């Protein structure tokens, strides 16, 4: 199976009384809480952590897009991925992703991702989420009633921009372009693998099946809460006559590894409480603009993941948090063997071939994040690698240029002093 290292890039210095004194971590988070000098340090440390993970042997490093968000400092994941393209050599670069409806014209996404695919020699995974209501409808002012139609059209445009061999005109419902001609176009042909992070809507599953895309369930609430969604996904695949190739799916899990479980508690309790306390403090006013969920989804009574997240976050309160985090499996902690055993069970139970790990979370610093990453890479990852590899082909993994054809970034050479 594939193990992917995922960074949210949370701001690590939200105050202790954030929940009491501040309205929301998202949309209208207090500007004054961010110190750009701290952001300078954090970006550099976070990118160190991503590079460390890539060097440690993870199959991919993952970045994602959020706007006006205190737990996600990546309004532009493409900037980070571009930097990683130069500082990593083998790991796939998984952008999960670009919210297509936010880009005007959406060919911007086709261009930037093609650039990253070229710079990295074909290591890009292109993720296309609709985007949360907080990101799209509120922070970016998109109309919730047209968001999905715009998203689907932008997807078609990007795909055409990547695959057509000639300059073409695009006369869409929302986008009109006389000349579409993406320079460069991607290394990977016909295009980089496309992964769709989504909530639990049947329509998304059906679309992934029809397009042969990977469906990713990026829940912050662990494998127990995610089980129902993933079971629903596989039931729908079966109904549609698709095989159970576990590489059709991706799943996100928070993990903390230490020598012993007791030590893991000591190390990871605080960052977990920081994340589930402060980072998920989302004002519920922003979670359900009318039209964001289709009527079919409303009828199916499938609440979107973000609604669930905000409702869950709203129920958190002080003391019981850590017990709940562990009992409900939001975070898996333990010794390397314990974690490996649990994750293997999770992967088998959910039938997931792409496991995305959040090994930095909350206010965890670089040293601890790297410690977690190293223990995982050296002692957990080898126990999981073999899973599914004999039985299934991962048709959704990047196909880079042969190693010998890939450019090697060269350190700058100083001219001799004049």
Partner 1 sequence: MSAPAERSVSVNGAPCRVWEKGRGSPAFYLAGFGGLPRWTPFLDRLAERRRVIAPSLPGFPGAAGHDRLDTLIDWVAATLDLVEGAGLAGGDLIGASVGGALAAEVTALSPGLVRRLVLIAPFGLYDPSAPPTDLWAQKPPSVPGLLCAEPKAYNDHMAPPEGVSAEEWPIITTRASEAAARLLWPLADTRLERRLHRIRCPTTILWGAADKLLPPSYAERFAKGIAGKTTTAIIPGAGHLADLDQPARVAEAVLTALG
Residue with Cβ nearer partner 1 (116 or 147): 147
Question: Which residues lie below 8 Å from residue 396, measured CB to CB, with a gap of 6+?
Answer: 125, 193, 195, 213, 214, 247, 248, 354
| 291 lies in the site for partner 1, by CB under 8 A | yes
CB 229 → partner 1: shortest distance, Å?
A: 22
Q: Which of 104, 167, 284, 317 binds partner 1 (CB under 8 A)?
A: 284
Q: Which of 174, 207, 316, 392 binds partner 1 (CB under 8 A)?
A: 174
Q: For every residue of 154-185, which 3-state class applies, written as one string?
A: HHHHHHHHHHCCCCEEEECCCCEEEEECCCCC
| 411 lies in the site for partner 1, by CB under 8 A | no
CB 201 → partner 1: shortest distance, Å?
A: 15
Stretch that binds partner 1, among 78-86, 102-110, 135-143, 182-190 (CB under 8 A): 135-143
Residue with Cβ nearer partner 1 (146 or 383): 146
CB 324 → partner 1: shortest distance, Å?
A: 24
Stretch that binds partner 1, among 180-188, 214-222, 286-294, 340-348 (CB under 8 A): 286-294
Residue with Cβ nearer partner 1 (89 or 143): 143
Q: Which of 36, 141, 241, 411 binds partner 1 (CB under 8 A)?
A: 141
Instruction: Say how many C-beta atoms besides its own lie within 10 A of residue 146's C-beta.
Output: 14
Cα separations in angstroms, 45 against 15, 189, 237, 266, 367 = 20, 34, 40, 22, 9
* Rounded to 5°, angle at Cα 217 from 46 and 98: 55
Cα–Cα distance measured from residue 35 to residue 417, given in angstroms and rounded to the nearest whole number:
39
Stretch that binds partner 1, among 87-95, 243-251, 255-263, 291-299 (CB under 8 A): 291-299
Stretch that binds partner 1, among 12-20, 83-91, 282-290, 337-345 (CB under 8 A): 282-290
CB 140 → partner 1: shortest distance, Å?
A: 9
Cα separations in angstroms, 264 against 261, 268, 344, 378 = 5, 6, 19, 17
Residue with Cβ nearer partner 1 (8 or 130): 130
Report the chain's terminal Cα–Cα distance, integer Å.
Answer: 54
| 295 lies in the site for partner 1, by CB under 8 A | yes
| 403 lies in the site for partner 1, by CB under 8 A | no
* CA pseudo-torsion sign 380, 321, 370, 262: negative
Question: Which residues lie below 8 Å from residue 372, measured CB to CB, with a gap of 6+?
Answer: 255, 256, 257, 267, 268, 359, 360, 364
| 172 lies in the site for partner 1, by CB under 8 A | no
What residue spans of 240-380 are helical by DSSP H? 261-274, 295-299, 305-315, 321-327, 336-350, 366-375
| 311 lies in the site for partner 1, by CB under 8 A | no
Cα–Cα distance measured from residue 418 to residue 400, given in angstroms and rounded to the nearest whole number:
42
Whether 73 and 38 have beta carbons less than 8 Å apart is answered as no
Q: Which of 36, 290, 318, 411 binds partner 1 (CB under 8 A)?
A: 290
Residue with Cβ nearer partner 1 (98 or 136): 136
Q: Which of 76, 145, 163, 176 binds partner 1 (CB under 8 A)?
A: 145
| 143 lies in the site for partner 1, by CB under 8 A | yes
Q: Which two tokens stand for residue 123?
A: 């290591």
Cα–Cα distance measured from residue 123 to residue 187, given in angstroms and rounded to the nearest whole number:
9
CB 176 → partner 1: shortest distance, Å?
A: 12
Residues in touch with partner 1 (CB under 8 A): 137-138, 141, 143-146, 173-174, 284-286, 289-291, 295, 298-299
């Amino acid at each position: 199976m594939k193990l992917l290292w995922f960074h949210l890039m949370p701001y690590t210095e939200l105050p202790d009384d954030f929940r009491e004194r501040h309205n929301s971590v998202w949309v209208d988070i207090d500007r004054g809480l961010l110190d750009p000098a701290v952001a300078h340090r954090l970006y550099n440390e976070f990118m160190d952590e991503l590079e460390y993970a890539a060097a440690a042997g993870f199959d991919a490093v993952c970045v994602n897009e959020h706007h006006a968000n205190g737990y996600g400092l990546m309004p532009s994941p493409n900037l980070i991925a571009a930097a990683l393209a130069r500082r990593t050599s083998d790991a796939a670069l998984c952008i999960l992703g670009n919210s297509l409806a936010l880009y005007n014209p959406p060919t911007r996404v086709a261009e930037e991702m093609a650039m990253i695919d070229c710079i990295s020699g074909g290591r890009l995974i292109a993720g296309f989420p609709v985007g949360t209501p907080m990101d799209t409808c509120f922070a970016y002012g998109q109309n919730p009633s047209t968001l999905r139609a715009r998203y689907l059209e932008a997807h078609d445009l990007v795909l055409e921009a990547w695959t057509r061999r000639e300059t073409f005109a695009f006369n869409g419902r929302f986008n009109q372009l006389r000349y579409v001609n993406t320079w460069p176009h991607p290394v990977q042909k016909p295009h980089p693998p496309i992964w769709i992070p989504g909530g639990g809507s049947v329509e998304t599953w059906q679309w992934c099946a029809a397009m042969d895309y990977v469906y990713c369930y990026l829940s912050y609430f662990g494998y127990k809460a995610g089980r129902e969604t993933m079971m629903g996904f596989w039931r729908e695949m079966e109904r549609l006559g698709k095989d159970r190739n576990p590489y059709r799916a991706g799943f996100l899990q928070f993990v903390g590894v230490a020598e012993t479980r007791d030590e893991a508690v000591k190390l990871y309790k605080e960052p977990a409480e920081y994340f589930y306390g402060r980072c998920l403090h989302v004002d519920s006013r922003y979670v359900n603009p009318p039209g964001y969920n289709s009527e079919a989804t409303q009828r199916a009574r499938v609440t979107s993941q973000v609604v669930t997240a905000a409702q869950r976050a709203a129920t958190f309160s002080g003391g019981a948090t850590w017990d709940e985090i562990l009992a409900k499996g939001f975070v898996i902690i333990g010794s390397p063997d314990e974690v490996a055993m649990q994750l293997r069970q999770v992967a088998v139970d959910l039938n997931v071939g792409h496991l995305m790990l959040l090994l930095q979370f909350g206010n965890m610093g670089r040293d601890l994040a790297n410690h977690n990453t190293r223990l995982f890479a050296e002692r957990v990852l080898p126990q999981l690698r073999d899973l599914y590899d004999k039985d299934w082909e991962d048709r959704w993994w990047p196909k880079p240029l042969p190693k010998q054809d890939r450019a090697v970034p060269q350190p700058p050479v100083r001219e001799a002093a004049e």
